[in-house]
Structure 1
Amino acid sequence: MLRKLISKTIKLPDNRVVTIETGKLAMQSNGSVVIRMGNALILATVVAKAAAEEESYNFLPLSVDYQEKFAASGKIPGGFLKREGRLGDHEILIARLVDRAIRPLFPKKINSEIQVNISLISADESILPDALAALAASSALSVSSIPFNGPISEVRVARIDGVFLINPPPSLLEKADMNLMVAATNDSILMVEGEMNEVQEADMIAAIRFAHDAIKVHCQVQLELMAAVGIEKKTDTLNDLPTTLVCEPALREAIYTDIYAVAKRHIPSKTLRKEAFMAVTHRYSSALVQDQNGQETSVNQQKEFLLELQNQAIRALILNESIRLDGRRLDQIRSIESEIDYLPSAHGSALFTRGETQSLTTVTLGSKFDEQIIDRAMEDGYHRFMLHYNFPGFSTGEVKPNRGPSRREIGHGNLAMRALKAVLPPDKENLYTIRVVSDILESNGSSSMATVCAGSLALMDAGIPIKAAVSGIAMGMITDPATGRFAVLSDILGDEDSIGDMDFKVAGTQQGITACQMDIKVAGISYEMLEKALHQAKEGRLYILQKMEETIAIARPNSKPHAPKIVTIEVEKEMIGAIIGPGGKVIQEIQKESCANIDIVERGYKGIVTIFAPNQEMLQKAVGKIKTITAKPSIGEVYVGKVKSVLNYGAFVEFMPGKDGFLHVSEVRLERIEDLEKVLEIGEELQVKLIGVDPKTGKYRLSRKVLLSSDAIAAGG
C-alpha cells in the first residue's frame, strides 16, 4: 500500500504547536490521524460498517471509545492481570465528551454502524489529552469517506489569575477558578461542560467566546487537511429505510389536530399523557395501514409517522402559544418537596422530589483508609470525595437488568460530583473521606440535577460544613430555523428533552455557577440563545435553593451520634516510635481496644496522628491512650506506676507508658529498708511522685516516701 504522509500545523497563541498527520498509521480504517503536541501523541481511527439493505436504525449507530495506553507513560498496569482492562470512568467521560460533540453532525439518514477509536499512544505530563481527543476524532472523520457535517474541535478554557488560557498545563489548572471544555463548529457552539468556583453567567459566556475563537482556527486547519487529502464522501452509508409514510393531507391534518389537542390538555402525569397519545394512535391505526398510493405500510413506518406528528405538535404548541405539556409557563419550576434524615442509619440522607423526578441520596463518612486509589496512565493518587449515581429501570417503569453503571450513569454522577466539589471544606477542615450515592427512584427530566440538590441536602444533614447549598436545573430549548424564533424551557420534562434542541444543565450556589453541561442536538445555537438560557437558569436555580433552605439552611454543627468520629493530634516527632511500639505492638493494642483506625505521618518536626473511631466514646478512649503515651512528665506530679525490676539499692518503675523512673531504696518508706525485694514485687502498682531529673544521666527520679509523710497526707497526696 502506498503511504503518503500529509501534515498540517496549528499554532497556539503561546507558541505551542499542534500537528495533525494522516497517511501513515492505521491505513485500513476509513480514516485515521495522529495528533501530536509536545511528546503527546493521540491516534484516532474511524470505521463505518458496510450497510446491508435490510438494516434500518431509528437512532444513530455511533460508538466512541477513548483509551490511555499505560506504555504511553512508561508504566505497567496494576492489578493481577497487568494489562489494560475495561475502560476506566475517566476514559468513558472523555469518550462522552467526544461523542456528544460529533453526534449531532451526522446526517439523519445515515444507516451504517460507525465506530470511533481514540488512543493515547504517547503521553506528556505537561499536556492533558482530553482537550485533544475531539480534534483527533473530527480530523479522522474529515479525512474519511463517511458523511460528516464537520469539522469541529474541542478545547479546554481555564481562567487563571483572571486570564483565559487555552489547553493550559495541569500545573496551572490547580489555580483556575473556571475549567470548561467547549466544543464547536466554525459557526456555532455544540457542547459545554466543566466546573467553576461560583462564577457569574457573563464570565462563563466570555470564556466560551474565547474558546470558540481558538476552535475556529482548528476547524480551518482541518478544512485544509481535507483539501490536501482530496477524499470524496460516500453516499451508500445513507439510506431512506424505512420509507417515510405519506398519507392524505386531510387525514394528516385530522391526526395532527387530535395530537395537538392532547398536548394542550395539560396532563401532568407522564403515564397518563402517554396513554392519551396512544389513544390517538389506536384511533387512526387502521387508517394508516396503507399510504396515499395504496401501498401497504409497516408498523415501524406508522410509528415513525405518528411520532413525528407528535413532536411537531408539541414544538408548535410551545413556540406558538408558550404552553408546555404539563401546563407550566416556560420559566416555571415543578413542585418541589425535600426532607433530610430520611434513613436513620445513614450518616446523612436526603429525599428530593421535583415533579416526577425523585432522588434518594446518602452520605457515608469514612477514613483515610477508604480513599479511592487512582491508577491511570496519566495519574496516580487518591480521591477523598466520590459521588455515584444509579439509574435503575423501575425509575421509568421499565424492566432493565442491573449490569453495573452505564456510561450515562457515570457521566451524570461526574457532573453532580463537580457541582458539589466546589463547596466542600478544605482537607484541613474536613478529615473524612466522603461517598455520596444518589439512587434515582423516579425520573421524568433531569435526575442529575435532582442528585445535585439531594446531595447538597444530604451533606448538610451529615454535618459536613459546605460553603453554601448547591442546586441544579436542566434547561431545554425549542427552535424554528425558518423564522429564527426560539423558546427556552426551565426544568424540562423527559418528553421535552427528547423532542427539544438543547439539554443545558446548570448547577450553582446563590453566588454563582459551580458546574454545567450543555448538549446541542442541532447544528448549534447562537450566543443570544445561550445568554437567555443562562439567565433563565439562574432564576430557576435561585428558586430551587429557596425551597431547599426551607428544609435545611446550613449544615448540622456536628455529625450524627452514630456517625464515625475523626480527629488529628500533633505530637513530637520523637514520640511516633512510642505510639507505634516495638513491631507495632502499642498501636495495634490501642486500635483493638478502641476499634479505631490510626494513621501517623511525619510532617517536618512533628507527627500528625489521625484517629478514626466508630463513635465519640471510642474516639476519646483512643485519644486518651495516645495523649498518655505522648504526655511529658512534670516534676511534682503524682503517677500510678508499675514496678518493672527490683535491685538491692532501688527499683525501676514505669510511671508513664514507655517512661521509667528510678525509685531509690531510701525513697520507698519513711523507715530504713534492709531488703527491698521483700517490700516490692515486680508488677506491683504504686503511687509515686516525680521529684527530679538526674542532670548527668537524664533519668527520672521518683519518690514514694514523700507521699507517705504527714505533710503530703495533709495536702491530699
Structure 2
Amino acid sequence: MNVITKTLQLADGRTITIETGKVAKQTDGSVVLRMNNTVLLATVCAAKDAVPGTDFMPLQVDYREQYSAAGRFPGGFTKREGKASDNEILTSRLVDRVLRPLFPSNYHAEVFVNVMLLSADGIDQPDALAGFAASAALACSDIPFECPISEVRVARVNGEYVIDPTFEQMKNADMDIMVGASAENIMMVEGEMKEVSEQDMIGALKAAMAAIKPMCELQAELSKELGKDVKREYDHEVNDEELRERMSKELYQPAYDVTKQALPKQDRADAFEKILTDFKEKYAAEHADLTEDELEEKYAMMERYYHDVERDAMRRCILDEGIRLDGRKTDEIRPIWCEVSPLPMPHGSSIFTRGETQSLSTCTLGTKLDEKMVDDVLEHGYQRFLLHYNFPPFCTGEAKAQRGVGRREIGHGHLAWRGLKGQIPEDFPYTVRLVSQILESNGSSSMATVCAGTLALMDAGVPMKKPVSGIAMGLIKNPGEDKYAVLSDILGDEDHLGDMDFKTTGTKDGLTATQMDIKCDGLSFDILEKALMQAKAGREHILKCLTDTIAEPRAEMKPQVPRIVQMEIPKEFIGAVIGPGGKIIQQMQEDTGATITIDEVDGVGKVQVSAPNKESIDAAIGKIKAIVAIPEVGEVYDGVVRSIMPYGCFVEIMPGKDGLLHISEIDWKRLETVEEAGIKEGDHIQVKLLEIDPKTGKYKLSHRVLIEKPADYVERPARGERRERPERNGERRDRRPDRGDRRNGERHGERQRVGDSSESGMRRPRPEQQQTEAPKEEKPKDFSDSLDNMDF
C-alpha cells in the first residue's frame, strides 16, 4: 500500500488528517478524513465515457451517516439505514453546489461522489467536513476538475468567529454559516443568523476564506504527490465551430431584440424558441443532402449554441443599456400583491404574488402531540415548527405528473424554514406547520414562500416577534471586464443565465438566513457588500407590502383553532398526573375530551391542555389541579370511600390521596363495624383532615367532628388515663398528699424513664416485687442440632 497522510491544524489547535491509499482502492479516488473522533470516508467514481445525447454534467453527491458511527441502532422494524434523511440530503446539496461548477462544461461522464460518516462522538459536526473530504477524493483522482475546494462552518460565539465549531459551541452562537470556496473565490454560502448586520456576515465570509485557503493548498500538494495533477483526456462533445459562429452572427440581434421587448415569461420563451425553430428550418432547407440522423446531430449542437447566444444577448443588454428581460431597472422589484385568509378553514392562509411568482401558503396549529420527532445519527429531539415547500409541475406550465418530494423541495423549504423559525416565540404553546404551494414560478419561489409564510402566520394569530421578508439577488459580470450589474428580485432566466443567485431573508433589524451560489470567478467583497445592501433595500420594500396587508398578528385565533392552556406543576406530581401505565391521564382525557401532554423541563412539569372548547379545558385543568393540590390540616373534603377495613375505611380526599377514617372517627356512638354506619365502597362522605403524620405522610381523617355531638355523650377516657371515682356522700374523697407528691415527683420521673409502663398506664412494680429475667437460651448454630433438641 502506498499510504499518504496529510495533516492540517486549525486555529484552535484541532487537527484534520487526510489519508489515502489504505481503503477503497478500486475507486478513482478515496480519502479518509479525521478530526478527533470524527471519521469520514469520501470516494469518487467516474464513467470513462458519456452517455450519448447527454449535454449536462451528470454529477450525483450522496452524503450518508451510519448509525454505528455513534454506537446506535437504526430505528424502525428493519433496524437498518433506509432512505436519506433531510439532514443527509441538505448536506449532499451543500457539497454538490460547490463541486458542480468546477467540472469542465464539455465533460458529460457520470460522476458519483459518496461521503460516509464512519465515526462520531457528538462533539464535532461532521457535515462541515463533507465538502473538504469530497474535494480531497477528487484531488486523488484523474477526473477533470478545475481546482480543489473546501467547506467550513463559521459561527459567531460571544462576538468571535469560530471555524467548524462543536455542537456545544453552537448553543451560544448567533450566526451559523456554511461557506464553500476555492483558494481564491467563494462558491457557495448558506446559513442562518439571529438578525445580524450585512457587515457581520461579510466578516464571517472573510474568516471562512482564511480557513479554506490552506485546505485547498494541502489538496494540491496531495494531488501532485500522487501524480494526479494531470487529468484524464476526454471527448464528450462533437462540435461544429462553423455552425457555432454562423448562429452567433445571425441570431444574436434577433435574440437581443426579444430581450428588450419586456415580454411575459411564456411569450418571451415562445419568441426565443421561434428564432431557433426558424433557423433550424432554414438550415434543413439549405442542407437537403443530410440524413435525418445527421440533422438530429446538428439540431443538438444548435440547442447548445443558441443557449450561449441567449446568454450573451441578455447579459449585454443589461450591462450596456441597463435593460432587463422584463424591462425593469437593475434595482427594481416586480409588482407585488398580497391577500390573507383566502381560504375559510385553514387556521391561517395567504397568497403572495411577486411578478410571475406566486405562493399559496397555509398555517396549521397543533398540539405537542403533532411535533416532529427527529432521530438522526447525531441529532435527537423534536421540532415544533415545520415548513413544507411544494413545487408542482404546473407552476411552470409543464405537462407532467407530480411525483414525490425531491431534493430541490427539501432544500428550498429548509431555507425558508431557517428564515422564519427564529421569529416564532419559544413559549408559544402550539406546534406550527406551514405549507407553501407554488402556483406560479418565475424566479425566487423560496423567497415568495418566506413572504407568504409570514402572512399566513400572522393570519393564524401566531405572535411573531417580527415579520420576515426575502429577496433573491443576481449578478452579471463578464470575465475580464470591470463593468458589472447587481440585479434585485431576479427572474428564472436571469438566475439561469446570470452569475449569481443570492437569497437573503430578514426582519427590519437584520438578516435571518441566506443562500448564495456563485458561478463566476473573482467575486470581490466590494461586489458582495453592494449586493447585500441592495438586497436590504429590496427586503424593506417587500416588508412594507406585507405589513400593509396585515400590520400585526391577529389578536384572536379563528374559531376552528384548538385552544391550548399551559400550566406548571411540581416535578414530584408528574407521576401522579400520569398514573400507573398512563391510567389517570388517559381517564382524564376520556372524561373531558381534552388532550393532555406533560413533560419535565428544567425540573418542572410542563402541562399542556388542548381542546376545541373552553369547557373541556376547564374540566381537565380542574382535575389536574385536584391531583397536584396539597391537602391542608383542618380543611373539609368531599371524599370517596375506596376500601373498608375492620378498623375503619380509606377515603380518597383528592385524586391519588387516600386517608384513614378510623372507626372511632365515623360517629359519636361506639361502632363495632364500619357497616353499622351504612358506609359502602364508592360512597361519598364529608371528612375533615385532622393531621398529617410528619414521618409517613399519612392522613388522619374524621367524620364525626362534622356532625353534632349528642347531649348525653360521655367522652371515653383516652388510653392510659384513669376514670375519676364518684364522690361519696356529696363529698369528693381527698387523695393522700404524700401519694400525690410521689405520683407527680420523683416516682413520676422514674416512670417516664420506663417508657412502656408509663405509656400503658401500668404502675411500676416495687423493687422487692421485681423478678430477675431468666437468661435467654442461645440459638443453635447448626440446624441439625436444633432438630435433635426438639420434642416431636
Q: Same fold (TM over 0.5)?
A: yes
Aligned to 1:156: 153
- 1:261 is aligned, of 257, 264, 276, to 257
Q: How many angstroms does 1:26 deviate by?
A: 1.6
Aligned to 1:92: 89
Q: How many angstroms does 1:470 deviate by?
A: 0.9
Matches of 1:74 and 1:674, distance apart in 2: 66
Matches of 2:629 and 2:21, distance apart in 1: 72
Pairs within 5 Å for 1:434-453: 434-453=432-451
Whether the 8 Å CA contact 1:244–1:305 is kept in 2: the answer is: no
Aligned AA (1:503): D
Matches of 1:446 and 1:522, distance apart in 2: 20
Q: Secondary structure at the match of 1:276?
A: helix
Aligned to 1:50: 48
Aligned AA (1:700): L
Q: How many angstroms does 1:284 deviate by?
A: 3.0
More relative contact order, 1 or 2 (CA 8 Å, 6+ apart): 1
Matches of 1:375 and 1:270, distance apart in 2: 43
Q: How many angstroms does 1:164 deviate by?
A: 0.7
1:24 and 2:19 correspond:
no
Structure 2 CA distance for partners of 1:677 and 1:86, relative to 1, 3 Å: closer
Structure 2 CA distance for partners of 1:345 and 1:252, relative to 1, 3 Å: same
Q: Secondary structure at the match of 1:599?
A: strand
Matches of 1:610 and 1:229, distance apart in 2: 62
- 1:221 is aligned, of 218, 223, 226, to 218
TM-score, normalised to structure 1's length?
Answer: 0.90
Matches of 1:708 and 1:198, distance apart in 2: 74
CA deviation vs aligned residue, 1:183-223 (integer Å, no higher than 9, x gap): 11111111111111100001100110111011111111111
Aligned to 1:348: 348
Structure 2 CA distance for partners of 1:107 and 1:705, relative to 1, 3 Å: closer
Structure 2 CA distance for partners of 1:22 and 1:607, relative to 1, 3 Å: closer
Q: How many angstroms does 1:479 deviate by?
A: 0.9
Whether the 8 Å CA contact 1:56–1:242 is kept in 2: the answer is: no
Structure 2 CA distance for partners of 1:442 and 1:645, relative to 1, 3 Å: same
CA deviation vs aligned residue, 1:245-274 (integer Å, no higher than 9, x gap): 62675x75443222211111111x211222
Q: Which shows bigger deviation, 165-174 or 518-527? A: 518-527
Aligned to 1:699: 700
Aligned to 2:126: 129
CA deviation vs aligned residue, 1:512-558 (integer Å, no higher than 9, x gap): 01110000123352212211111111011111111100122322334
Aligned to 2:524: 526
Pairs within 5 Å for 1:349-428: 349-426=349-426
1:306 and 2:306 correspond:
yes
1:457 and 2:455 correspond:
yes
Matches of 1:221 and 1:533, distance apart in 2: 32
Percent identity at matched positions?
Answer: 50
Aligned AA (1:537): A
Pairs within 5 Å for 1:221-620: 221-244=218-241, 246=243, 252-267=248-263, 269-289=264-284, 297=295, 298-426=298-426, 429-581=427-579, 583-602=581-600, 606-620=604-618
Aligned to 1:715: none
Aligned to 1:714: none
Aligned AA (2:352): F
Whether the 8 Å CA contact 2:148–2:219 is kept in 1: the answer is: yes
Aligned to 2:747: none
Aligned to 1:5: 3
Q: How many angstroms does 1:55 deviate by?
A: 1.7
Whether the 8 Å CA contact 1:191–1:517 is kept in 2: the answer is: yes
CA deviation vs aligned residue, 1:46-89 (integer Å, no higher than 9, x gap): 1110115x723221111111111222222221111122212111
Whether the 8 Å CA contact 2:687–2:701 is kept in 1: the answer is: no
Q: Pairwise CA RMSD of aligned residues?
A: 3.1
Matches of 1:395 and 1:158, distance apart in 2: 37
Whether the 8 Å CA contact 1:339–1:551 is kept in 2: the answer is: yes
Q: Secondary structure at the match of 1:224?
A: helix
Whether the 8 Å CA contact 1:689–1:706 is kept in 2: the answer is: no
Aligned to 1:622: 620
Matches of 2:497 and 2:595, distance apart in 1: 53
Query: How many correspondences in the alignment?
Result: 702
Aligned AA (1:260): Y
Q: Secondary structure at the match of 1:285?
A: helix
Structure 2 CA distance for partners of 1:574 and 1:277, relative to 1, 3 Å: closer
Whether the 8 Å CA contact 2:641–2:685 is kept in 1: the answer is: no
Q: How many angstroms does 1:603 deviate by?
A: 5.7
Matches of 1:499 and 1:438, distance apart in 2: 26
Structure 2 CA distance for partners of 1:670 and 1:435, relative to 1, 3 Å: same
Whether the 8 Å CA contact 1:366–1:432 is kept in 2: the answer is: yes
Q: How many angstroms does 1:510 deviate by?
A: 0.6
Whether the 8 Å CA contact 1:56–1:111 is kept in 2: the answer is: no
Gaps of 5+ in 1: 710-717
Matches of 1:643 and 1:72, distance apart in 2: 57
CA deviation vs aligned residue, 1:556-583 (integer Å, no higher than 9, x gap): 3343332123233223445444433455
Whether the 8 Å CA contact 1:330–1:490 is kept in 2: the answer is: yes
Q: Which shows bigger deviation, 614-623 or 177-186? A: 614-623
Aligned AA (1:186): A
Q: Secondary structure at the match of 1:320?
A: helix
User: Could you say which structure has the larger radius of gyration?
Assistant: 2
CA deviation vs aligned residue, 1:81-110 (integer Å, no higher than 9, x gap): 122212111111111111101111111111
Whether the 8 Å CA contact 1:244–1:301 is kept in 2: the answer is: no
TM-score, normalised to structure 2's length?
Answer: 0.82
- 2:182 is aligned, of 158, 178, 185, to 185
Q: Secondary structure at the match of 2:113?
A: strand
Matches of 1:104 and 1:406, distance apart in 2: 21
